[in-house]
Amino acid sequence: MPTLHVGIVGHGLVGKELVSQLLTSAARLERELGVHVEIAGVARSQKMVLLPPGGGDKALLDGAWPKQEVVADLEALGQHVVAAAELSGGKALIVDNTASDQPVEHYSSWLRSGASVVTPNKRAGSGPLARYEEIMASARSGGSQFLYEATVGAGLPVLGPLQVLRNAGDEIRRVEGIFSGTLSYIFNTWTRDRKFSEVVAEAKEKGFTEPDPRDDLSGTDVQRKVTILARELGLKLELDDVPVHSLVPGALQHWQPAAGENLGEAFLQELGKHDEEMAAMLAEAEGRGMTLRFVGEVDVGAGTASVKLAEFPSDHPFATTQFADNMVAFHSKWYTPRPLVVQGPGAGAAVTAAGIFGNIYEIAKGMKSSAH
């Protein structure tokens, strides 16, 4: 039975959830695909563990961290995983669960060595265009795969349906969507009888926002997702080519808390000073019978992408979202005038890990096909 040797970079919420999903699904993968999945190594920010073939990974399921840890070295991790695959005649895979640029710098060498890469990390797909193109070329030259479904929709399938439509001969003309579960929650919850800062504070309490809510309100996360989508559709855009309507008031964009203050809590206090101007914006939209939503858009014909706060009539699909749902609409030659719509939860460790797992399953399924 062929073995898929997996190296995992990042062992936080998503990484631990993924390890759990991988190990609890191992028997099913063997039964359905005839492929054995084995974790060959796990790297955290400072330390890593390189596991011997055929042993050690089960301890990770109980949250145990094996004692034979060494200083983290991502190039050495890749070499270890590839060597294990060469020894068994199987395949090597590296999963990057981080949001850091550091692992991305290793993608090309991993891919050229024959190790596939799966990631929810948006920095490869939205970082410098030259690096992105080098990563894609490295995957082709190494006969490996670079899969990144979870970068745009987390567990919500966005890139997969897009690729299916294009491979089948459809012509994608425009893609627009609500790509932030955090901002979806805020705009689904915010009403004229509630203060904007109060709703943002509630989102923070629920764990939806980053420690600094400006990271969400700035729209940078959506900007990265839209850049990835644009490149997927053939547009050669840099991140800075995508204009963003930031929801952070101008006076707070470079604001810093006083010494000793909690950044998140102090920011929410400052944000409260701008509740009136936000309320006026909401009232104006509702006065026109419109609903506010924070959306990203790629216009293939125009060769542009953007991220903005937009108004939609009450019968528009975006106006019907609930809680923290993401929603993406594909406008194409086949899907017109009504678009193909994908909707569902797009945030959280479990659904993100599920999106990653889907790509891992795809690689394992390819091993089954090549074995026959």
CA distances from 96 to 5, 61, 103, 156, 281 (A): 14, 18, 7, 18, 40
pLDDT at residue 59 in the model = 65
- Find, among 229, 230, 222, the residue nearest to 181 by Cα: 222
196 and 322 housed in the same domain: yes
Q: Per residue, what are the HEC states of 56-105? A: CCHHHHCCCCCCCEEECCHHHHHHHHHHHHHHHCCEEEEEECCCCHHHHC
290-308 pLDDT, tens per residue? 999 999 999 999 999 999 9
Q: Which domain holds residue 40?
A: 3-154+350-371
77 and 129 housed in the same domain: yes
The backbone torsions φ and ψ at residue 243, rounded to the nearest 5 degrees and listed phi first, read: -65, 145
220 and 106 housed in the same domain: no
pLDDT at residue 107 in the model = 98
pLDDT at residue 84 in the model = 95
CA 68, 71, 76, 77 dihedral sign is: positive
277 and 322 housed in the same domain: yes
pLDDT at residue 56 in the model = 62
The DSSP bridge pattern shows strands 36-43 and 47-50 to be: antiparallel
217 and 119 housed in the same domain: no
The amino acid present at 148, given as its one-letter code, is Y
CA separation for the pair 122, 126 (Å, rounded): 6
Q: How far is CA 122 from the centre of its chain?
A: 6
For residue 281 the two structure tokens come to: 């914006």
148 and 218 housed in the same domain: no
Cβ contact 152:158 at 8 Å: yes
pLDDT at residue 312 in the model = 97
173 and 147 housed in the same domain: no
Which residues, including other chains, have CB under 8 Å from residue 322's CB and lie 6 or more apart? 188
CA separation for the pair 362, 365 (Å, rounded): 5
225: annotated active-site residue: yes
CA distances from 51 to 19, 55, 56, 59, 74 (A): 14, 7, 6, 11, 14
142 and 170 housed in the same domain: no
Place of tokens 């993968």: 29
pLDDT at residue 372 in the model = 52
pLDDT at residue 177 in the model = 97
CA separation for the pair 88, 7 (Å, rounded): 15
264-281 pLDDT, tens per residue? 899 999 999 999 999 999
pLDDT at residue 54 in the model = 75
pLDDT at residue 155 in the model = 79
User: Which residues of the chain are under the pLDDT cut of 50?
Assistant: none
Cβ contact 31:364 at 8 Å: no
The enclosing domain of 96 has a CATH number of 3.40.50.720
Task: Please give the tally of structural domains in the chain.
Answer: 2
145 and 215 housed in the same domain: no
The DSSP bridge pattern shows strands 146-147 and 116-118 to be: parallel
The enclosing domain of 210 has a CATH number of 3.30.360.10
Which of the following is catalytic: 225, 333, 365, 368? 225
337 and 362 housed in the same domain: no
109 and 134 housed in the same domain: yes
70 and 188 housed in the same domain: no
